[in-house]
């Protein structure tokens, strides 16, 4: 910076619009953008009928001030087999090589909108399009209500060995009380 007032960015990252899926919510809001070291992760939960997508950018590879493509594209692993409205990329977090992506409206165990979180290790990426995660974390459903709609993965944070996952509408101990689950980032075990 050469002055106290900065009027332009060093880089502008545009929506890569992978495969013409048109989302419209690329990086919309703090939960959908995360940065660690040289990596930026941005989610687009509205991509392709709200199936969702996430993009990973490596700042060290930027060769112009306007960035129009991602280094890595994380497509929805869709482990439950429902094609639309999973909202994969609703929340993203990165710390070092670990990336977590929330798919808050993915149905699990017969419950709609229960939510799934996917974890990736960048050092395992072997191509630019990644269609499966290293592992996933289903909603543990604290209190056992199994009524769905918990939005597990609505917000995510990663620090060192831990992933914190918010389930915004968990119904224990009372309706829509919410819950936060802490997992081991290396294997997805609920702690």
Residue 75 CA to residue 57 CA, distance in Å, equals 15
Residue pair 102/94 in contact by the 8 Å Cβ criterion:
no
Q: What is the pLDDT of residues 138-182, one digit of tens each?
A: 888 877 777 778 898 999 999 999 999 999 988 888 888 899 999
Peptide bond between residue 62 and the one before it cis (omega within 30 degrees of 0): no
118 pairs with which residues across the strands?
101, 136
* pLDDT for the residue 82: 60
CA 148 to chain CA mean position, Å: 20
* Strands 152-159, 135-138: pairing kind: unpaired
Reference 168, options 186, 135, 187, 142; nearest CA is 142
Confidence grade of residue 6 (pLDDT, cut at 50, 70, 90): very high
User: What are the φ/ψ torsions at residue 4 (nearest 5 degrees)?
Assistant: -80, -15
* pLDDT for the residue 27: 83
Residue 153 CA to residue 138 CA, distance in Å, equals 9
Q: Distance between the two ends of the chain, CA-based, in angstroms?
A: 44
Q: What is the pLDDT of residues 76-133, one digit of tens each?
A: 998 666 656 889 999 999 999 999 999 988 877 667 888 899 999 999 999 999 999 9
Q: Helix or strand or coil: residue 148? A: coil
Residue pair 136/119 in contact by the 8 Å Cβ criterion:
yes
Q: What is the pLDDT of residues 15-33, one digit of tens each?
A: 998 888 877 789 888 889 9
Q: What is the pLDDT of residues 34-92, one digit of tens each?
A: 999 999 999 999 998 888 999 999 999 999 999 999 999 999 998 666 656 889 999 99
Q: What is the pLDDT of residues 171-188, one digit of tens each?
A: 888 888 899 999 999 999
């Amino acid at each position: 910076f050469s002055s106290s007032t900065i009027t332009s960015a060093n880089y502008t990252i545009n929506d890569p619009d992978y495969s013409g899926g048109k989302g419209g919510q690329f990086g919309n809001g703090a939960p959908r953008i995360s940065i660690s070291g040289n990596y930026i992760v941005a989610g687009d939960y509205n991509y392709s009928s709200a199936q969702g997508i996430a993009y990973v950018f490596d700042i060290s590879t930027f060769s112009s001030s306007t960035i129009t493509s991602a280094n890595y594209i994380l497509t929805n692993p869709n482990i439950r087999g429902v094609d639309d409205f999973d909202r994969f990329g609703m929340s993203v977090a990165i710390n070092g090589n670990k990336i977590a992506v929330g798919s808050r409206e993915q149905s699990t165990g017969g419950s709609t909108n229960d939510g799934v979180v996917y974890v990736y290790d960048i050092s395992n990426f072997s191509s630019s399009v990644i269609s499966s995660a290293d592992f996933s974390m289903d909603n543990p459903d604290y209190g056992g209500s199994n009524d769905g709609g918990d939005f597990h993965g609505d917000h995510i944070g990663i620090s060192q060995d831990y992933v914190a996952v918010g389930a915004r509408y968990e119904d224990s101990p009372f309706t829509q009380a919410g819950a936060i689950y802490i997992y081991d980032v290396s294997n997805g075990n609920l702690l």
